[in-house]
Chain A
Amino acid sequence: MTAPVTGAASLDAKPLLAAEDIDVVLGRGWRANQVLSHVNLKIWPGEIVGLVGETGSGKTTLARTVVGLVRPKQGRIVFDGTEISGLRGGARRRDRRSGHVQLVFQDPLRSLDPDLTVAEIVGEGLKIRGGIGRAEIERRATRALQQVGLDAALLSRAPGQISGGQRQRVAIARALATDPRLLLCDEPVSALDASNRNYILRLLGELRDSLGLPIVIISHDLSSLAGIADRVVVLYRGRIVEDGPVGQVFAEPRHPYTALLMASAPSVTHDRPLSAHQLRRTPDDPAPPSTANACVFAARCPFAIGACAEQPALEAIGTARNVRTAGTVEAAGPQTARWTAACHRHGEWPALARERSAVAAPRQPAKLTRNQEGFSSCPSSSSA
């Protein structure tokens, strides 16, 4: 989107949302499963943040924690100066019903009630909030539908009677009806074809521009995020491994996992700076450290060394520029470094990767591909 900068995310401004040092454990006893470890996520007003990672990396759990559907074991969530994770009882209920933070759930076919009409779905949040008349609810439901580019004629239909792209827009309209100040979208485009995917992403970009609404987009498709997000946060097995402005991270990823995600994304052109083979372990690579505290990615990382036996902290990479639109670098005031990566070898591995073979080594038919799911089938969490 080459739209003018709105609600500029100046770096020294106060974040709208701060999730601090979040640990989430799902299940109890022998089922207990640490889904998030020491996650710090800040969202500034007016920015679009892409949250990426593979199945089980904790993206959905992080979003559910932010809206209060999952209670963190440790850490706090501060929204606009109020610690919402500490609220209990009536105060918590009031906060939840205000609809300040809205989550658009994955798979609208399953998350929208098939027995309700679109009007009832979109107006339900306002009805629960209470104190709003029926006519007003209807007016705001119609307005929310207009905001997502849907015709008011759809109000009387059921979710089963509209197309997949329209359903996703209804799910977004439902979230917009309560005038949220922060919108989280869980995999809003993964079930859609390419044209509808771009339509929804454009719509989210327009909502940010017209309402100044900060949006978190959860996705495992990096290439579509590149077109719209301002910042990208990469999660791997419950930890943030890289966090930075989208232009810089995608130009020069500093965590091997980010680079692997980029190299794995299908594309219509064949020129890639690094191929996926250069970023995958081969049987010839030295065995990774297997200590309990090892870097989360070490087991899949071809560049793991002795130092990786300890989980690296997020470390600042240079000074992030506030890159908003293509090519234009804004001189923001006092700059704090916001490009961080959790890798001991963040400066060394790109050169090492370029030296590796770009194509798969010829293998015995019996050993076709090294299976990596053994490592990636990590803690099955609520994220589907």
Chain B
Amino acid sequence: MSGNPPPDEVLGIEDLHITVHDGAVTAVRGISLSVSTGEIVGLVGESGSGKTLACRAALGVLPAGCAIESGTISFGGKDVTDLSRRGWERLHGTGVGAVFQDPSSYLNPNLTVGSQLAEVLRVKQGMPRREAHRKTVELFTTVGLHNPERVFHQIPAELSGGMLQRVMIAIAISCGPQLLIADEATTALDVTIQAEIIELLKDLRDQRGLAVLFVSHDLALIRELCDRVVVFYAGEAVETGPVEEIIERPSHPYTQALLGVASVGDFQRRELRVIPGQPPQVGADITGCRFAARCPAAIDACRSAPVGLMRLAPGHQARCVRAADPELAAAAAETALAAR
């Protein structure tokens, strides 16, 4: 990702490094990604791979002790890396909205969900009370809540998890942001509800040109929703490209392994695969490829020098010294075949 950003780029992250524990260790090392209008980009990886940290940096809400060491974050072409707290507050809601895993913990249990959305509209957009009420009901309808007038007057405890997540999405898009960040937004939901939320996100993208950054650990879910995907491993992007391409031709052994453990959806009995070994400790000092210790195809060259992202096709990059190796490609084809 070099040169000029595409004209409709909403979020651009360039070579981002994030340190945790007050600068003691680097948890995110050199992430670059961009999200354009009407595009859904997925971040996938194991827990602890730095997906959530990258998201929180893009939202300007890094937890205490975490800091951006180097790199830039731009929003709509404007550099926001060193934005002040007030600056971020202006951007939240109107520029970027966010939805997280557990909707009930982000809502006040004592207030009606309608008043909590109306409050956002009144504070952010200075809407009069009546107008905010009307807009709230309209937004509830947009996110597919049945009987929105009634939902307006209900408190979070009276709504199911799927309905609460819809309320959270309504709040996130209430002030017309260009970007929605969804961090494991469907993980806590039932599969049937998850499928409906996925459709809702697609509809919002189609109708509003919303850009979405979708974080998940499930490659199958990413496949259902996203246009492009960035695969995270131990704080690095190991592969990035269009979803179809990555599913058809995974070029990094880690992506191949993730694909091997993802749900296939044909409901056949099969050997359940696992990825052997554990990811390295956060901030571990590894010279070469960070996946080499778990990689079935690792060679000496993997461990001797840092591995850069290699361009394989337009928009498709992989961080593997053997990415263009025909032998590895054959192994990938086998994985893809086994996944059928």
Contacts and interface: CB of A to CB of B under 8 A. Distances in A.
Interface in B203-253: 203, 207, 217-221, 223-224, 247
A376 interface: yes
A1 interface: yes
Contacts of A184: none
B143 A373 contact: no
Give chain B's interface residue range (CB within 8 Å of chain A). 35 or more
A56 B161 CA distance: 11
A366 B142 contact: yes
A193 to B, nearest CB: 4
A349 interface: no
B107 interface: no
Interface string B47-74: 1000000000000000000000000000
B263 A265 contact: yes
B265 A267 contact: yes
A267 B190 contact: no
Contact of B223 (A56, A202, A268, A370): A268
A291 interface: no
Interface string A93-124: 00000000000000000000000000000000
Given A266-B194, A266-B224, A227 B218 contact: no
A245 to B, nearest CB: 11
Q: Which of A193, A221, A224, A370 counts the most B-chain CB atoms under 10 A from its CB?
A: A193
A374 B146 CA distance: 7
Interface in A306-353: 325-326
A203 to B, nearest CB: 10
A26 to B, nearest CB: 16
A221 B191 contact: yes
Contact of B160 (A2, A55, A198, A368): A55
A228 to B, nearest CB: 7
B332 interface: no
Given A193-B47, A195-B261, A228-B272, A371 B146 contact: yes
B146 A370 contact: yes
Nearest to B45: A193
A250 B275 CA distance: 26
A190 to B, nearest CB: 9
B190 A54 contact: yes
A371 B263 contact: no
A369 B195 CA distance: 11
Contacts of A156: none
Given A195-B261, A269-B340, A227 B272 contact: yes
A267 B161 contact: no
Given A55-B190, A199-B274, A369-B199, A266 B268 contact: no
B147 A265 contact: no
Contacts of A194: 217-219, 258, 261-263
Q: Which of A195, A199, A366, A367 counts the most B-chain CB atoms under 10 A from its CB?
A: A195
Interface string B252-290: 000001110111111111111111001000000000000
A365 B142 contact: yes
Contact of B199 (A261, A268, A269, A360): A360
A267 B261 contact: no
Contacts of B219: 194, 268
Contact of A202 (B160, B194, B195, B272): B272
Q: Which of B146, B258, B261, B269 counts the most A-chain CB atoms under 10 A from its CB?
A: B269
Contacts of B261: 194-195, 197-198
A198 B220 CA distance: 14
Contacts of A374: 146-147
Contact of A224 (B142, B160, B272, B339): B272
B265 to A, nearest CB: 2
B105 interface: no
B160 A370 contact: no
Contacts of A199: 274
Given A55-B190, A268-B220, A366-B141, A262 B267 contact: yes
A220 interface: yes
A54 B191 CA distance: 8
Contact of B272 (A198, A269, A370): A198
Nearest to B143: A368
A164 B147 CA distance: 40
Contacts of B340: 269
Nearest to A279: B192
Contact of B264 (A163, A262, A267, A373): A267
Interface string B166-207: 100000000000000000000000111111101110010001
Contacts of B200: 368-369
B265 A223 contact: yes
A223 B267 contact: yes
Contacts of B269: 1, 226-228, 246-247, 325-326
B95 interface: no
Nearest to A367: B141
Interface of A: 1-2, 54-56, 163-164, 193-199, 201-202, 205, 220-224, 226-228, 246-247, 250-251, 260-272, 276, 325-326, 360, 365-374, 376-377
24 contacts: A55-B161, A55-B190, A194-B217, A194-B258, A195-B274, A198-B261, A201-B272, A223-B264, A226-B267, A261-B192, A266-B194, A266-B198, A268-B220, A326-B269, A367-B141, A368-B141, A368-B200, A370-B144, A371-B146, A371-B166, A373-B160, A374-B146, A377-B162, A377-B163
The 9 closest A-B pairs by CB, nearest first: A267-B265, A377-B160, A369-B144, A371-B146, A250-B267, A264-B195, A223-B263, A54-B190, A198-B272
